[in-house]
Amino acid sequence: MKIAHLPVVVLLMSLFIAAYFVFGRSQLPAGDGQAVIRLSGQWAQLEDGSEAFQLTRQMLAELPGYYEMDARLVPNEAIAKLGVLPLAKLIEAYPLLGDADGIVLETINNWESYLTVDYLTDRSSVILLYYNGEDPGAGNWPAFGGDIEPLAPFYVFDPEKPIPTFPTSPQYGMIAATQITGIRASNTAARYEPFYSGSLEEVSDRAFAGRKLYLQRCNSCHKGPGDVGGNVSERPFPVLQAHAQYNAAYFERVVINPKQFFPETSMPKHEDFEKADIEALIAFLSESAE
């Protein structure tokens, strides 16, 4: 190769490398073997006033309690070997600070799940680290619901329930959180204070049940009072309040089977909701609007 041609070759190589980082890497599944998860909030590790600390996938896998299980993670997929860490073991290794009694799973898509420490201990909820021995960068991790959304970079589920379905929820939030990038330690009463103050400080028995159900099954995607909760849905809390108050029949039909109105929605059906559940939700939404 002639020396005069070197600048051209260097330029072409530079363009190739730049194209890889701009286009090639963006097409890789989240989590390329270097993925880290960000821990913030009330962790003892942050007692010095730091905002957050990070753990790599390998660091998580090296914690006591990591194990492998055989399970079918999503429908239409073969049984796979899943490398998982119980979240209760994460908290043992990195204790919470002060009055923190739960964690928020923070995700790419603004979906939120809040899990109390008691629930994590009782149900052994786990974070998925490896799928058949591979991290997401290998390109072989399945998508949630078959094609709804990627699981990567981290995925949390409850192995005690059938995985493809939405399992019984803890007091706050839902299990089966995809695309997790961070875990925030928090105090339950402080985080959900707007649900228990103002017009909601004293509620009827029916609204009390509806508030609990909303926190369990709705707040993961729909922000509640005080804009607390997930932010996946485009329908803010006041819209839900209005439907519950003035269009209860429509509200019920949408909750039970949203796809009959919005075929492209990612909102799941709630066919397990009974009439009493819908009435409780309506009572909570109505009383919170007073």
Three-class HEC string of 145-185: CCCCEECCCCEEECCCCCCCCCCCCCCCCCCCECCEEEEEE
In the structure, what pLDDT confidence band is assigned to residue 159 with cuts at 50, 70 and 90? confident
Q: Which residue has the higher pLDDT, 48 or 119?
A: 48
Is 77 in the same domain as 182?
A: yes
Which of 169, 190, 211 is where one domain is finished?
190
Give the CA distances from residue 187 to residues 26, 90, 114, 226, in Å, rounded to whole numbers and listed in that order: 36, 17, 10, 16
The answer, yes or no, to whether residue 16 has pLDDT greater than 50, is no
Which of 137, 158, 190 is where one domain is finished?
190
The number of domains in the chain is 3
Is 43 in the same domain as 172?
A: yes
In the structure, what pLDDT confidence band is assigned to residue 50 with cuts at 50, 70 and 90? very high
d(CA 112, CA 186): 13
DSSP, res 224: -
The rounded mean pLDDT for the chain is 82
Predicted confidence (pLDDT) per residue in 77-116, tens digit: 889 999 999 999 999 999 999 999 999 999 887 788 888 8
Is 141 in the same domain as 274?
A: no
pTM here is 0.77
Is 41 in the same domain as 165?
A: yes
Is 203 in the same domain as 86?
A: no
Residues ≥6 apart with Cβ < 8 Å to 232: 109, 110, 111, 220, 221, 222, 266
Give the CA distances from residue 15 to residues 6, 9, 12, 28, 243, in Å, rounded to whole numbers and listed in that order: 14, 10, 5, 19, 54
Give residue 147's pLDDT.
61
Give residue 17's pLDDT.
32
- Give the residue numbers spanning the domain of 203: 192-288
Give residue 96's pLDDT.
97
Which of 190, 206, 224 is where one domain is finished?
190
Predicted confidence (pLDDT) per residue in 177-207, tens digit: 888 999 999 998 899 999 999 889 999 999 9
**How close are the terminal C-alpha atoms of the chain, in Å?**
80
Give residue 166's pLDDT.
55
d(CA 236, CA 222): 7
d(CA 141, CA 155): 11
Highest mean pLDDT among 118-132, 154-168, 222-236: 118-132
Is 139 in the same domain as 197?
A: no
Is 23 in the same domain as 55?
A: no
Residue type, 150: P
CATH label of the domain that carries residue 46: 3.90.420.10
Predicted confidence (pLDDT) per residue in 119-150, tens digit: 888 878 899 999 999 999 888 998 876 566 78
Is 97 in the same domain as 185?
A: yes
Share of the chain above pLDDT 70, in %: 81
Is 186 in the same domain as 200?
A: no
Give residue 265's pLDDT.
81
Is 151 in the same domain as 45?
A: yes
Is 175 in the same domain as 245?
A: no
CATH label of the domain that carries residue 224: 2.60.40.420
Is 241 in the same domain as 197?
A: yes
